[in-house]
Amino acid sequence: MVRNLVVTRRLLVGAGVKATYLLPSGFLLGEGAMAATLTANARPAKRQTAPARRLVMLDPGHGGKDPGAIGVSGTYEKHVALATAFELKRQLEASGRYHVEMTRTRDVFIPLEHRVEIAQHHNAVLFVSMHADALKDQHVRGASIYTLAATASDAQTRELARRENSADRFAGPALGNTSPEIAEILASLVRRETRIGSARMAHDLVGALSPAVPLLPNPTRHAGFVVLKAADIPSVLVEMGFMSNRQDEAALRRPDHRIRVAAAMKRAVDAYFVAANHAVAASG
């Protein structure tokens, strides 16, 4: 795959297309390399080392006029999501390896499409949306991880996506004044690498969360979540539990449990970027 990308890069650069659009923001090359653009008349840039800090975008679900799910004892999903996101931000930044932004830092409403735009505006290299939804069946409990797909993996996921989505707009990469043929090649490459990155992050989250919290059966699922539709940023949605289940709700209300969830998610982020660094080394 890497060899094919290199060949394609040379062909497209020869056509005068900037190399910035070949991969999701910083997915394999890192933010520094992605900032450098090559044209047909430019000298090849020297290989750059991966940046010390990667920009991770955390997306606490719902907010403001939209409380999200309301727990059996009255807990709002929007409060649980924001509190856990702040804890994850603290842990990630304490490591010194990441810079973390959040789509919201207070109780305000932000449309789903705008959350995607915020991540793209900040050139995020990873997008993690954090939720705690509700189901009709109050016996169902456990965390689960979702990636983007045109169709839902199961009926339960289809219902979750229906509730989370308020609109649907695909935010593709900006391709500038390229020809339709080259634009389609670029978009296809970006979407493919984004899917690979999203699946890798979902896998890492399952491995990190499984010792720390209960998980749903088959915890890696997929559906057409609007908030995951950044074509150029690997994105996952984490349901940390269900507010409709008394045990999950009670756990998510406790700071010690949220710290444990955040610590597991941090381990997954670490594992994700270790794999990305290995991919860079293998390509070189």
DSSP label at residue 173: P
Q: Residue 138: pLDDT above 90? A: yes
Q: How confident is the model at residue 46 (pLDDT cuts 50, 70, 90)?
A: very low
Q: How confident is the model at residue 164 (pLDDT cuts 50, 70, 90)?
A: low
| pLDDT of the residue at 277 | 81
Q: What is the mean pLDDT of residues 93-100?
A: 97
Q: What is the mean pLDDT of residues 110-132?
A: 94
The proportion of the chain whose per-residue pLDDT surpasses 90, expressed as a percent, equals 54
Helix or strand holding residue 11 (H, E): helix 2-14
Q: Residue 253: pLDDT above 70? A: yes
Q: What is the mean pLDDT of residues 132-161?
A: 80
Query: What are the extents of the domains in the chain?
Result: 51-273
Q: Nearest 5°: phi and psi at 56?
A: -105, 130
Rounded distance between C-alpha atoms, residue 159 and residue 23, angstroms: 32
| pLDDT of the residue at 22 | 34
| pLDDT of the residue at 160 | 59
| pLDDT of the residue at 154 | 61
Q: Annotate 146-180 with b (16+ C-beta within 10 A) or e (fewer).
A: bbbbeebbeebbeebbeebeeeeeebebebeebee
| 0.85 exceeded by pTM | no
Helix or strand holding residue 81 (H, E): helix 77-94
For residue 276, the one-letter residue type is: A
Q: Residue 33: pLDDT above 60? A: no
Average pLDDT, the chain: 77
Q: Residue 41: pLDDT above 90? A: no
| pLDDT of the residue at 278 | 76
Q: Residue 191: pLDDT above 70? A: no
Lowest mean pLDDT among 52-56, 72-76, 133-137: 52-56
CATH number of 51-273: 3.40.630.40
Contact 28, 279 (CB under 8 A): yes
CA distances from 72 to 131, 141, 254, 257, 273 (A): 16, 13, 15, 18, 37
Which of the pair, 146 or 46, is modelled with greater confidence? 146
| pLDDT of the residue at 39 | 34
**Please, which residues bridge with residue 256 across strands?**
none
Lowest mean pLDDT among 106-110, 122-126, 172-176, 258-262: 172-176
Q: Residue 101: pLDDT above 70? A: yes
Helix or strand holding residue 90 (H, E): helix 77-94
Rounded distance between C-alpha atoms, residue 202 and residue 148, angstroms: 11
Q: What is the mean pLDDT of residues 192-201?
A: 88
Helix or strand holding residue 98 (H, E): strand 98-102
Taking the alpha carbons of 98, 102, 106, 107 in that order, is the dihedral positive or negative?
Answer: negative
Q: How confident is the model at residue 152 (pLDDT cuts 50, 70, 90)?
A: low
Strand order in the sheet with 143-148: 98-102, 54-60, 126-131, 235-239, 143-148, 215-223
Q: Residue 209: pLDDT above 90? A: yes
